[in-house]
Amino acid sequence: MSQQTTTTPSFRQGLGRFLGGCLRLVVFGLLVAALTALIYYATPYVYRYLVIPVQNNRLAIEQLRNSQSGFQDDLEARLADQSQRIAQLEADLAANREARSELENMLAQNEEMLSTQSATQVELKADLEAQGQALANLERDLDTLDAAIAEVEQSIAVPEAEIATLQRRTSLVEMQQATLKARLHLSDNDAGQALLALEDARQPLRRLRSVVPSGERAALAEIEEQLDTVTTAIQEQPFTAVQELEIMWQLLQEFSRQ
């Protein structure tokens, strides 16, 4: 009786241990299954919402770095180009300042020259009137002389030297008058009329070639050359034309005293 009582609790304890072990195995299996299911179903979620965004962010960061590098290179190129342009603009500005200084000097000289011309304009007009009167008198004398020669060619012997001298004086006066007219028109800033006045000096110049002796032709050629120089100056550099006209006037004065 006592042996049966001892056996029964041992059997119950062993059965309890067995059931407890089975229960633990079942719980462990459920945990493993749950963990497996969690890993199986959570892996796509983690990959989609964690791994893929991280990869996309990494690609975006790489693209941003590449874009930033390209932008930086382009910015440096633009800065270099801007620096070259600034250097060129500074050089142009210096050249413009130098040109402006030269123009201001030329303007000051021109103003001084205009002031001088204004001061002598009255004198030039008086000289022009006197030369015109003298030319009229000489032309009248020449016409009278030509008429007398035509009428009494056989009876009056007029020396050819006297006629040549009179033609020389007339031509010189006409050239001086044309020079004064040109100076007067230049004083009025009328280059066109000054050129026309100089053209009037070429006809008496051609007459002088036919009457002057060979020893004076070099001086006459110098006057003709100076006339061409004055014409060119009026057309290209009007501010220097007055000085060239002064030289021509002096040459005419010297030629008239020969």
What are 31-83's pLDDT values in tens digits? 888 888 888 877 887 777 777 888 888 888 888 878 777 777 777 888 888 88
Nearest one of 181, 187, 215 to 201, comparing CA atoms: 181
Residue 160 confidence (pLDDT): 63
Residues 239-250 pLDDT 10s: 788 888 899 889
Token pair recorded at residue 188 = 């009025």
- Residue 239: count of CB within 10 angstroms of its CB: 14
Angle, helix 52-151 to helix 238-256, in steps of 10 degrees:
20
Which one has a higher pLDDT value, 23 or 154? Answer: 23
Distance CA 134, CA 116 (A): 26
| Distance from C-alpha of 214 to C-alpha of 76, rounded to nearest angstrom | 79
Residues 6+ apart with CB under 8 A from 252: 172, 175, 176, 179, 223
Judge whether 195 and 235 are in contact, CB under 8 Å. Answer: yes
Cβ neighbours, 10 Å, residue 10: 9
pLDDT value of position 57:
82
- Cα separation of 26 and 22, whole Å? 6
Interatomic CA distance for residues 189 and 109, integer angstroms: 16
Q: Residues 200-216, buried b or exposed e (16+ Cβ, 10 A)?
A: ebeebbebbeebbeeee
| Percent of the chain whose predicted confidence (pLDDT) is above 70 | 85
Phi, psi of 237 (to 5 degrees): -135, 80
User: Cα angle at 47 between 42 and 49, to 5 degrees?
Assistant: 90
What is the spatial distance between Cα 245 and Cα 31, in angstroms, rounded to a whole number? 123
Dist CA 52 CA 221 (whole Å):
101
What is the model's pLDDT at position 3? 45
- pLDDT band for 118, please (50, 70, 90 cuts): low
d(CA 14, CA 9): 9
Token couple for 173: 């006066």
- What type of residue sits at position 57? N
The pTM of the full predicted model, rounded to 2 decimals, is 0.41
d(CA 168, CA 214): 14
Residue 64 is which amino acid?
A: L
Could you tell me if residue 110 is left (phi over 0), alpha (psi between -120 and 50 degrees) or otherwise beta?
alpha
Q: Where are the domains of the chain?
A: 121-256
At 159 the pLDDT is 59
Per CATH, the homologous superfamily of domain 121-256 is IL-4 antagonist (De novo design) like domain (1.20.120.660)
